[in-house]
Amino acid sequence: MGLARRNVEEIRPYVPGKPVEEVRRELGLSGTINKLASTENPLGPSPLAVKAMRKAVKNMNFYPEDGAYYLTQALARKHGVGEDQILIANGSVEVMYYITTAFANPGESVVMSDQAFILYKIVTKVADARQIAPPLRNHTHDLAAMVLSVEPDTKVVFIANPNNPTGTLLSPPELDRFMSKVPEHVCVVLDEAYCDFAEYFARQRGVEYTHSLPYVREGRNVVVLRTFSKAHGLAGARIGYGIAPAEQIAYFARLKTVFSVTAMAEAGAMAAMQDEQHIRRTLENNAAGVEYLSKKIGEMGFRALPTCANFLYVEVGEDAAEVGRRMQDEGVIIRPLAGGWGAPQAIRVTVGTPEQNRRCVAAMRKVLEKVAVGSH
């Protein structure tokens, strides 16, 4: 009999990409390595955030203020909710662990799409809960199927909007109808990690992005997840948050690891929120990159799904892991969506700087040329 619990034995851990320097060493590459695998901000962190974090480093001999007091206040003001409706964590993924641990008893069910953020499956397994995963429809969440998948013991439904890895968006009316049909005992998690990009694209198209915060203000059984890892460029600082009715936040706070948010991360997040110029540059760079990459990928005979995030989902018609290896040989790291991602012939490409995008296209032309020719 093993030492670990059964559900822990069954977990397939999230596999991050290798460090850039390790890839360079293994492959004997001498030039620049373009890492376009993890939906990070290619422009880096806000200069204001860097300055604030450098200042905070001087006090690293002290424990951080455990409740991220000032950031909680700032976010509550920004989103029009109470301070008791915000929980700051070591990335929004940490809040996902709190949600399934707090609400799902062993054997109870959690609903998610079969091709959504891979961590939903992991946090469900950690809670020893049962996963129900209806397939996507038209590359996005099939909300009708998800409602029908809810069982009497279902405690949580995860919805990524935009969805990761497909980049597709659900409209507010679609989610309004969904929310009206979900039983009140089910906690709906609206994962809006890519909200800044989605809001930008929605404004460009003259449509609304989301009604998630009104749901919270109305006291509905929801948790909205946001992060500083994407548009704000603080993925390495590990800071995100959940917004929910105060009763839910109180449950999560009981599970929260002491001092899980560093003082340096909080300082960086506070400053990044104020740097509107950096966020605007990020969003404009992303929109231009999406247009360029989508066009060039189309010229190769492939189709990048229309995206509302900072990455593109591309079906390549062959083993994605092998495509990923060949791209890496060319000095470009992308994310193959094989394994737990559930899309063995698809890749996810993060939008980079103009130069990174050009190098990515050149590598894709070389790597996918034979497949594209054979598909016609």
- Which tens digits make up the pLDDT trace of 240-268? 999 999 999 999 999 998 999 999 999 99
- Whole-angstrom Cα distance, residue 346 to residue 338? 7
> For the chain, what percent of residues have pLDDT higher than 70?
94
Q: Are residues 269 and 292 in the same domain?
A: no
At residue 375, the pLDDT reads: 47
- Whole-angstrom Cα distance, residue 145 to residue 190? 17
Q: Are residues 72 and 193 in the same domain?
A: yes
Q: Are residues 302 and 154 in the same domain?
A: no
Distance, CA of 58 to chain centre: 31
Q: Are 308 and 10 in contact (CB under 8 A)?
A: no
Q: Is residue 105 part of a domain?
A: yes
The two structure tokens encoding residue 43: 């422009």
Whether residue 5 has pLDDT greater than 90: no
In whole numbers, what is the pLDDT of the chain averaged over residues?
93
**Which of 234, 254, 274 is where one domain is finished?**
274
Name the more confident of 342 and 217.
217
At residue 374, the pLDDT reads: 43
CATH of the domain at 336: 3.90.1150.10
Q: How confident is the model at residue 3 (pLDDT cuts 50, 70, 90)?
A: confident
At residue 1, the pLDDT reads: 53
Pairing of strands 222-227, 156-160: unpaired
Q: Are residues 39 and 188 in the same domain?
A: no
Whether residue 179 has pLDDT greater than 80: yes
Q: Are residues 222 and 339 in the same domain?
A: no
The two structure tokens encoding residue 156: 């949580």
Q: Is residue 376 part of a domain?
A: no
pLDDT tens figures, 24-43: 667 666 668 899 999 999 99
At residue 8, the pLDDT reads: 81
Nearest in space to 65 (alpha carbons), one of 263, 303, 225: 263
- Whole-angstrom Cα distance, residue 311 to residue 318? 20
Instruction: Strand 311-315: give its sheet, edge to edge.
Output: 311-315, 346-350, 335-336
**Which of 210, 242, 274 is where one domain is finished?**
274
Q: Are residues 215 and 364 in the same domain?
A: no
CB atoms within 10 A of CB 232: 24
CATH of the domain at 115: 3.40.640.10
Nearest in space to 55 (alpha carbons), one of 208, 258, 266, 281: 266
Torsion angle (degrees, nearest 10) of CA 98, 99, 104, 109? -130
Nearest in space to 368 (alpha carbons), one of 298, 312, 300: 300
Whether residue 231 has pLDDT greater than 70: yes
Q: Is residue 11 part of a domain?
A: no
Whether residue 373 has pLDDT greater than 50: no
Domain span at residue 261 reads: 47-274
The two structure tokens encoding residue 336: 């193959």
Torsion angle (degrees, nearest 10) of CA 271, 76, 86, 224? -90
Q: Facing residues of 369 across strands?
A: none
Q: Are 224 and 216 in contact (CB under 8 A)?
A: yes
Q: Are residues 96 and 189 in the same domain?
A: yes
Q: Is residue 12 part of a domain?
A: no
Q: Are residues 216 and 300 in the same domain?
A: no
Sign of CA dihedral 245, 247, 248, 250: positive
At residue 28, the pLDDT reads: 67
Whether residue 4 has pLDDT greater than 90: no
Q: Are residues 91 and 35 in the same domain?
A: no
pLDDT tens figures, 93-117: 999 999 999 999 999 999 999 999 9
Kindly state the average pLDDT of the residues 262-286.
Answer: 98
Flag the least confident range among 21-35, 53-67, 324-338. 21-35
Q: Are residues 125 and 223 in the same domain?
A: yes
Q: Is residue 10 part of a domain?
A: no
Q: Is residue 321 part of a domain?
A: yes
Number of separate domains in the chain: 2
Whether residue 189 has pLDDT greater than 80: yes
**Which of 240, 257, 274 is where one domain is finished?**
274
* CA atoms within 13 A of residue 373's CA, in its CB half-sphere: 6
CA distances from 293 to 20, 62, 114, 225, 246 (A): 22, 46, 26, 28, 42
Q: How confident is the model at residue 347 (pLDDT cuts 50, 70, 90)?
A: very high
Name the more confident of 16 and 287.
287
Please give the helix or strand (H or E) that residue 332 lies within, else none: strand 332-333
Q: Are residues 249 and 283 in the same domain?
A: no
Instruction: Show the DSSP H helices in 59-104 as ranges.
Output: 69-79, 92-103
